[in-house]
A and B are shown apart, each in its own frame.
Chain A
Amino acid sequence: MPLQQAAKSQLEEKKKKSRVRFLVLLAIGMFAFSFAMVPLYSWVCAVTGANSIATNASTKTSGLEERKVDAARWITVEFDATINGNLAVEFRPGTRRLKIHPGEMQKLVYHAKNLTGKEITLQAVPGITPWQATEHLHKIECFCFTQQTLKAGEEVEMPLRFYVDSDLPKQYQRMTLSYSIMNIEGVTKAPQLELK
C-alpha cells in the first residue's frame, strides 16, 4: 500500500513538472511574441493599412493633369513645422498662411538651418489636417521627396510647389500642412515612406 502510494505520488510529481514546464514556456513564448510584433506590426500595417485612416500624405510627385481653377472658392492653407526630438536645427515655413483658389499652383519655401557643429542628414515627413483633405493636396515639388544634407552651420531654403484640387469637399475651407523634420543619420531606409 505505501509502495503504491509512493509510485502514485511520483507520477503526480512528474505530471506537475510537465505542467510547470508548459506554463513557463508559454510565458517565454509570449515574451518572444512581443518582439515578433515589431516586424509583424509593420507588415500588417503595410498590407492592410490598418494604422492609417487616410492614405498617407504623399511623398511623391503628383501629375498636373485635369487641374482646373475654381476662382469662386477660397481655401486657407496653414503651414507648420515640427522638429523631432531634441534636434538642434532651425526649421520654419517662409509663409505661415496662404489664401488660395482650388487648382491654383502655389509656391513657397521652408527655411532650415543646421545649428549643430557637424554635418547632418535630414528628412521631412508631411502630414495634413483634416485627414480627409490629404488626397486633394498635390505636391509637384517638395523637399520632403528627398533627404537634405546640411553642413555645420549651413542654412538652406527648401522649395515646395503644390495645388489643392477642386474635388475637395465643400465643407473644408481650412487645412494645415505640417512637416516634421528628423535626423536620419545612420538610418538606411527613409522612415514612413511609401506605405501606400
Chain B
Amino acid sequence: MSSAVTANGHDEAHHHGPPKGIGRWLFSTNHKDIGTMYLFFSLIMLLLGGAMAMLIRAELFMPGLQLLEPDLYNNLVTNHALIMVFGAVMPAGVGLANWMIPMMIGAPDMALPRLNNLSFWLLPMAAIMLVSSMIVPFFPFGGGAVNTGWTLYPPLSVQAGMGMDLVIFTVHILGISSILGSINIITTIVNMRAPDMTWFKLPIFVWAWLFTAFLLILILPVLAGGVTMLLFDRHFGTSFFDAAGGGDPVLFQHLFWFFGHPEVYVLLLPSIGVLGMIIPTFARKPLFGYKPLIFFMGFLAILGMVVWAHHQYTIGMSLNTTTYFMIGTILISIPVGLMLFNFMCTMWRGSMTFETPMLFAISIILMFSFAGVTGVMLAVVPADLQYHDTYFVVAHFHYALIPGSVLGLFAATFYWLPKWTGNMYDEKLGKIFFWWNVISFNITFFPQHFSGLAGMPRRIVDYSGQFVEFNVISSLGAFMFGVSHLLFAYIIIKTIRGGEKAPDKPWEGGQIGTPGLEWTVSSPPPFHTFETPPAVK
C-alpha cells in the first residue's frame, strides 16, 4: 500500500527527522510544519476574535451603555472582522493547503519552500500590528479609535487616529503574505504533480484552492492599492477620496468591494473543496459530477469578480448600474445551488455514516443554503434598500461565513486530524462539540434576522428597547457558541497528546473517486514524503 514510504527508506541521506528546538519552526521549509503553524496561528486568532465578539455581545445584552465606550465598541467591531477574516479563516485555509496539497498530488514539498516560510512568518508580525491598532488610542499620541468597521470607508478612516495607519500596514503585510502563499500554491499544483496525477484526477480540494489562489492574486493588490491611497490622503495631502480636492469617497467603496466580494469566495471555496472530500468519503460514493463541480467553482470565481457593487446599492448609482449588479448577483445563486446539489446527489443512496466531519458537512449544506436564500433577498435592490446596514445583513453574512467557511474548516480538522497526529480524535467529544457548536450558532444568529427586519441598525453600540428580547437570546447563544470553541481546542490538544492509533487510512471511503495519495502514507506521515514520485493508480 505505502510503496512511497518504502521508497523513501532507500534514500538514507534525506531520511531524517525534524531538526530540534525552536529552529525547527523559525527556519522551517517543511510544508507540514508550516501548515501546522498556520493552523495553530488561526486557532489562536479564532479565540482572540471570538473574545472580541463576546465583548460585543455582552455590551448588546441590554440596551444602553454598560461595558464599552462607543468608540471602543466600534473598534472591537472593526478588529473582530479583520482578525476573523485575515487572521483566522484565510490562514486556516492556507494551512490546510500547505499540509494537504503536496500530499494529495504526490509532491515532496511546496514548490517554493523558503517563500512558504516567509508567508507564514509575516502573519504573526501583522497580528501584532493589528492588535496594537486597538491599543494606541489609549495613549495620548494615538488619536481616535479605528471606528470605521472593517470596510475602512473614508472620510471617517481619513480622520481616525494612528491606529488606522497600523491597520493599513497590517493589510499590506497580510496581503503580501497571502499573495506569496497563493503564488506558491499555484506553482505547486501546476508543476509538482506526480507523473500520472492528471488534472482530472486531482482531489477536488486541490481544484478549489487553485481557483482561490487565483482570486487572491487578482483581488488583494487592489485592496492594497486602495488602502495605500487612504494612507496618502491621510498623510501626504492627496485627495483620492476627498471631495473638496476633486476626489470621490465612493471610489474607495468600489476598490474595497472589488476586493471584498471575491474575498467571500476566497473564504468559501476551500471549504467547498473540503466538503467535496468529506461527503464522498462518508457516503462511500464517488463525488457526483466531479467535472461540473470544477466548472461551477470556476464560474463562481469569475462571476464573483464582477458583482461587487451590490454592497453599495444605497450610494445612488444609476438604475442601469444597479440593475446589472442585481442580475449578476442573483445569477451567482446558480453555480452555488448546483454545487450543493452535487453534494446532495453524492449522498443519495450512499451508505452513509455520521462521524463528526460528516455531521458538519451536512449541517453546512443546510445552513449555507439558508445564507443563500437571504443573499438573494439582499441582492434585490428595492428590498436591499430596506435591509441595508441592519442586523439582517449581519445574520446573512454570519450564516454565509460561519457554515460556509469556519465550520468547513472544523470539518476538515476532524477529517484530517488522524492523518496529521497519528491518533484518532475522541468521537464522542467531537459529536458533543458539533451539536453544541451548531445549536448555539443558530441561537445566536437566527434572531438577528428578525431584529434586522424590524429595523435594528448594525455597528451601533446601543439599540432601541423594542429589540431587547432578540438581543438577549442572541447574546446568550453567543456565549454558548464562544465557549464551545474551548472544547474544540481541547479536542485538538487531546488528540495530539495521544489516543487510539489511527491507521494509514482511518476512513473507509477515503480514496473513493479521486486517488487520494494522502491516505497512502503512514499516520502521522514521515517528515519527508514522496521524495520519489509515487505511482498513481
Give A75 to B111 CA distance when docked, in angstroms.
71
Contact A35 B191 (CB under 8 A): no
Stretch from B22-30, B280-288, B315-323 at the A interface: B315-323
| B1 interface contact, C-beta 8 A | no
> Which residue from A12, A183, A184 sits with its C-beta under 8 Å from B191?
A12
| B105 interface contact, C-beta 8 A | no
Contact B224 A41 (CB under 8 A): no
> Which residue from B111, B182, B245, B316 sits with its C-beta under 8 Å from A187?
B245
Give A180 to B72 CA distance when docked, in angstroms.
30
Interface string of B173-205 (1 = CB under 8 A from A): 000000100110011001100000000000000
> Which residue from B155, B240, B315 sits with its C-beta under 8 Å from A85?
B155
> Which residue from A23, A38, A131, A182 sits with its C-beta under 8 Å from B186?
A23
- A191 and B254 in contact (CB under 8 A), knowing A19-B190, A20-B183, A23-B183? no
Give A35 to B221 CA distance when docked, in angstroms.
10
Residues in B neighbouring A34, C-beta threshold 8 A: 221-226, 229, 255
- A50 and B225 in contact (CB under 8 A), knowing A23-B187, A26-B218, A37-B255? no
| B504 interface contact, C-beta 8 A | no
> Which residue from A26, A131, A187 sits with its C-beta under 8 Å from B217?
A26
Contact B244 A85 (CB under 8 A): yes
Number of inter-chain CB pairs below 8 Å: 113
Residues in B neighbouring A19, C-beta threshold 8 A: 186-187, 190-191
Q: B117 to chain A: closest CB distance in Å?
A: 16
Q: A164 to chain B: closest CB distance in Å?
A: 21
| A49 interface contact, C-beta 8 A | yes
Residues in B neighbouring A189, C-beta threshold 8 A: 246
**Count of residues in A whose CB is under 8 Å from the partner chain:** 41
> Which residue from A26, A31, A51 sits with its C-beta under 8 Å from B318?
A51
Give A24 to B242 CA distance when docked, in angstroms.
32
Residues in A neighbouring B190, C-beta threshold 8 A: 19
Give A85 to B247 CA distance when docked, in angstroms.
14
Give A160 to B223 CA distance when docked, in angstroms.
43
Contact B217 A50 (CB under 8 A): no
| B426 interface contact, C-beta 8 A | no
Give A184 to B247 CA distance when docked, in angstroms.
12
| B248 interface contact, C-beta 8 A | yes
Contact A52 B217 (CB under 8 A): no
Contact B246 A51 (CB under 8 A): no
Q: A140 to chain B: closest CB distance in Å?
A: 26
Contact A31 B222 (CB under 8 A): yes
| A28 interface contact, C-beta 8 A | yes
Among A38, A131, A180: residue with most chain B CB under 10 A: A38
Give A93 to B41 CA distance when docked, in angstroms.
56
Give A28 to B176 CA distance when docked, in angstroms.
11
Contact B221 A30 (CB under 8 A): yes
Interface set, chain A 159-196, CB cutoff 8 A to B: 180, 182-184, 186-187, 189, 191-192
| A84 interface contact, C-beta 8 A | yes
Contact A31 B221 (CB under 8 A): yes
Residues in A neighbouring B186, C-beta threshold 8 A: 19, 23
Interface residue tally of chain B, by bracket? Answer: 35 or more
| B219 interface contact, C-beta 8 A | yes
Q: B260 to chain A: closest CB distance in Å?
A: 13
- A50 and B222 in contact (CB under 8 A), knowing A23-B187, A37-B254, A85-B155? no
Contact A50 B248 (CB under 8 A): no
| B58 interface contact, C-beta 8 A | no
Give A174 to B316 CA distance when docked, in angstroms.
20
Give A192 to B222 CA distance when docked, in angstroms.
25
Contact B244 A27 (CB under 8 A): no
Interface set, chain A 31-59, CB cutoff 8 A to B: 31-35, 37-38, 41-42, 48-54
Residues in B neighbouring A183, C-beta threshold 8 A: 244
Residues in B neighbouring A131, C-beta threshold 8 A: 316
Among A26, A42, A51: residue with most chain B CB under 10 A: A51
Q: Which residue of B lies closest to A13 (CB)?
A: B191
- A50 and B254 in contact (CB under 8 A), knowing A16-B111, A31-B225, A38-B240? no
Contact A187 B246 (CB under 8 A): yes
| B112 interface contact, C-beta 8 A | yes
Residues in B neighbouring A33, C-beta threshold 8 A: 221-222, 225
Q: Pull 5 A–B residue pairs with CB atoms less than 8 Å apart, ordered by A.
A: A31-B222, A34-B223, A35-B229, A38-B229, A84-B244
A residues near B (Cβ < 8 Å) are: 12, 15-16, 19-20, 23-24, 26-35, 37-38, 41-42, 48-54, 84-85, 125, 131, 180, 182-184, 186-187, 189, 191-192
For the complex of A and B, the 10 pairs showing the least CB-CB separation, nearest first, are A34-B225, A182-B244, A30-B221, A31-B221, A34-B222, A23-B183, A53-B316, A50-B321, A191-B246, A16-B191
Contacts beyond the supplied A30-B217, A38-B240: 11 A-B pairs with Cβ under 8 Å: A23-B217, A28-B221, A30-B222, A30-B225, A31-B221, A34-B223, A34-B225, A53-B316, A53-B319, A180-B243, A192-B243
